[in-house]
Amino acid sequence: MAATTRGGPSRTNRGRHNPPAPSRPRHPKTGAPGERVLRVAILVVVLYAALAFRCFYLQIVRHPEFLEQARTNREKSLPLPAQRGVLFDRSGTLLVRNEPAYDIELDPNMWQASATAMDTPAMRQEQAIVGLEMCLPGVDVRGAVAKNPPTLVSSRNGKRRYRIIPVARQVDAAVGERVKAMSLLGVGTPGTSRRRAVDGNLAAHVLGFTGRDGTGLDGLEGGMDASLKGESGRLAAEFDTRGREIPGTVRTRQSARQGQDIVLTLDSDLQHAVQRSLAAACEKSHAAGGTAIVLDPKTGDILALANCPTYNVNDRARTSPECRMNRAVTAPFEPGSTLKVITAAAALEEHLVSASSGFYCAGRMKVGRRSIGCAHGDQHGSESLNDVIKNSCN
């Protein structure tokens, strides 16, 4: 007979089964798969539409603006220097000429164009400096850049313009060609010319010299600068990143007007002889300086004009201002024996004497309270007017 209990589970099942844990409620999925695909498609279409609008805005709407900026980046207006007139002596011998030369400069604007993270403006600047240091061993390239660092001169329409950095002026043509051949980015080599005397020691005070910009500063170079310098022209064209003119992009070209050549009254052979004689006379008499002028008595033309000391116009930086002084026209002198010629000419013109009139020189004559004698105590005795001038008799 089976036994049963009331009021609880059977002993055999006690402690074997735990009540089941309540399950988390599940949220129903919202929207069908087709609806989600539609939303993604709409988002993609919107993004592509925005991209297409941006491309249209940049390439169509702002195309003229960007085109103008690109043209401005390439376009430059450069001066076309006029050829300075040259100087000849009376026989057509060339005294002063123009030699081809180059200016070396840096253009920071070239370093800014199309720069990238792997090719920055600073890296481009360093490459240009190193290249120039190889070609210009006597020039402090880094010093020139430190003295004139890239300086922003204007900023318009998002376009920045930097000032050109001068490095060297009027370098030899061979050196300039070597720099030009390296095609360094941002290095400009505009052609120019420099003034050179054929013989730097000949008639230095008469010819004078020019500055680095070609402006006459002294002598005939300064006095006749307006006739010699001519008038510069202008070139407006587009240039590539190497500073080379792009063919077919010339907008305006105004040709330069060349300076006038000038023929002097100087005789170069006579000038050489006078300079040698003057230097020898100053050395013999231990004079601090001297001047000699040779005139054509019929026309008054200056055939030779020399000063001692003199200097080399091609190397004037190493000479003192005293050597560069033209004593013939700037230094005060006592008339001295030069007045004898004027006195004799006046007497001849008034027919008071003739060239053969006789005079007697005792070596000294008392005039008032003063006793005037000839130089070095000379006593010339009987002499004609011609002899008086020849002997410089007082």
Q: Structure tokens of 257?
A: 């007007």
Q: Where do the DSSP E strands lie in 275-333?
A: 290-295, 302-308
Phi/psi of residue 47, nearest 5 degrees: -65, -45
- Pseudo-torsion of CA 6, 11, 13, 14, nearest 10°? 100
For residues 16-30, b (16+ Cβ closer than 10 Å) or e, as one string? Answer: eeeeeeeeeeeeeee
Q: Give the HSE-up count for residue 189: Cα atoms under 13 Å, Cβ half-sphere.
A: 24
Q: Phi-psi category of 337—alpha, beta or left, where left has phi over 0 and alpha has psi -120 to 50?
A: alpha
CA angle in degrees (0–180, nearest 5) for 174-177-183: 150
Of 183, 255, 277, 337, catalytic: 337
Write the burial class of residue 317 (CB in 10 Å: 0-12 exposed, 13-18 middle, 19+ buried). Answer: exposed
CA angle in degrees (0–180, nearest 5) for 12-17-20: 160
User: What stretch of H or E contains 194?
Assistant: strand 191-197
Among candidates 148, 129, 124, which has minimal Cα distance to 139?
129
| 23 counts as catalytic | no
The long-range contacts involving 207-213, CB below 8 angstroms and separated by at least 24 positions, are 207/87, 207/95, 207/96, 207/313, 208/313, 209/313, 209/316, 210/84, 212/169, 212/170
Alpha-carbon gap, residue 383 to 385, rounded angstroms: 7
CA angle in degrees (0–180, nearest 5) for 345-347-353: 115
Alpha-carbon gap, residue 293 to 160, rounded angstroms: 59
Catalytic residues: 337
